[in-house]
Amino acid sequence: MTPRTSTRTLLWALLTSIVVLYAFPFAYLILTSLKLPTDAIAVPPTVLPKAWSLENYGTALATPGVIPSFINSTSTAVISTVLSVLLAVPAAYGITRYGTVSGRIFIMLALVTRMVPPVAIGVPLVTLMSTAGITDTPTALALAHTTISLPLSIWLMASFFEAVPPSLEEAAVVDGCTRLQALVRIVVPVVGGGIAVTAIFAFLASWNEFLFALLLTAVRAQTTPIVIANFQTQYGLQWGPMTALATLYSVPVVLFTLLLQRRIVAGMTLGAVKG
């Protein structure tokens, strides 16, 4: 075995170990969801089910509030993602293309919401949403989630716009486009992959968020992370249904990620400009 081969083997072993380490909790979650309810809480726990069963899924889906919570999670994440992208694209474009002092200050201040603990923002948000009369709605929660995802979205989009040479827009202008047309018809399609990346991170941030959902929702807008947590009560842990619902809740976001992953790769390989 040559030194190069042995290094490669070692690297593969290391990579495999890391993947197993990261993937094991999720694999264990899925396997637990497929155990019988009594096996799911056995002491000591087992990795593989003694008998395979979908009973936990039935129990989870029959729990009141589960289906509405999926709808709430989806609508909240969609609203938050749309808001983040629609606000981040022009904001980031303006900051990168005009390069003003105020723009530079703005992009730094945009990170303020990430400098403080979320709970410090959450309590005032409760009062604000209540004053606005939108408490316990997906809109209120989506606005709260936008405070998390918008700064990141602006920074991300700024970096994507940075990567687009100004000559591309200048060429478009020479060809008769206005600045707005150049932005909409030339720049935005070029950074489509970047918008997809920004959207997926905004969506993930909202989909997985727990604290604001806890503080800002009550009945009508309760999202699935809260419903999952409700399976652990003072009087017992319904481990089986909890893992089943967590698995179900993971499916859309895994699919979404895989779907946009392809879009991102495609975006990176097309290459509108040869460097």
Partner 1 sequence: MLNRFCKRGGSFHGHYDKVSGALLTSLDMQAYVCANVFAQQRFGVHRMSPRLMGEGTMPHNSGLSRRDLLKWTGASGLAVLATACGAGGTTSGSGAGGAKALSVLVEAGGKAELTKIAEAFTAKTGAKVTFIELPYDGLFNRLSGELSSGTLSFDVAALDAIWLTAFAGAVRPLTELFTADVKADLFPALVTEAQVGGTFVGMPVWTNAEILFYRKDLFEDADEQAAFKKKYGHELVPPTTWEQFNDAAAFFTRGGKLYGTDVKGAVETEWLAHILQAGSPGVVLDASGQVIIDNEQHLKALTFYSDLNNKLKVSPPGAAQLDWAGAQNLFNQGKTAMMRFWAHAFPLIPKDSPVYGKVGAAPMIGGAAGVAGIPGPWYLSVPKATKQADLATEFVKFAYDNNAMAIESSLGLAARKSAFEQYADKPGYEHFKPLLETLNATATKPRPATAKWQQIVDTVLIPTLQQSLNPNADYTGLLAAAKDKVQSLAQ
Structure tokens at 135: 């408490």
Closest CA to 206 of 91, 95, 74, 87: 74
- Binding window for partner 1 (CB under 8 A); candidates: 16-24, 25-33, 52-60, 110-118: 110-118
Sorted by sequence, the CB contacts under 8 Å of residue 211 that are 6+ apart come out as 118, 119, 122
Q: What residues from 174 to 203 belong to the interface with partner 1 (CB under 8 A)?
A: 177-183, 193-194, 197-198, 201
- Closest separation between CB of residue 33 and partner 1, Å? 17
Distance, CA of 136 to CA of 217 (rounded, Å): 4
List the x/- string, 202-241, binding to partner 1 by CB under 8 A: --xx-----x--xx--xxx-x---x--xxxxxxxxx-x--
Pick one of 100, 254, 255, 262: the residue that binds partner 1 (CB under 8 A).
100
Q: Write the DSSP symbol of residue 236.
A: E
Pick one of 164, 186, 245, 246: the residue that binds partner 1 (CB under 8 A).
164
138 binds partner 1 (CB under 8 A): yes
At 237 the three-state DSSP class reads strand
171 binds partner 1 (CB under 8 A): no
250 binds partner 1 (CB under 8 A): no
Residues contacting partner 1: total by CB under 8 A: 103
9 binds partner 1 (CB under 8 A): no
Distance, CA of 21 to CA of 27 (rounded, Å): 10
- Closest separation between CB of residue 19 and partner 1, Å? 16
Kindly write down the DSSP assignment for every residue of 137-199, as one continuous string.
SHHHHHHHHHHHHHHHHHHHHHHHHHTS-HHHHHHHHHTT--HHHIIIIIIHHHTHHHHHHHH
- Closest separation between CB of residue 7 and partner 1, Å? 19
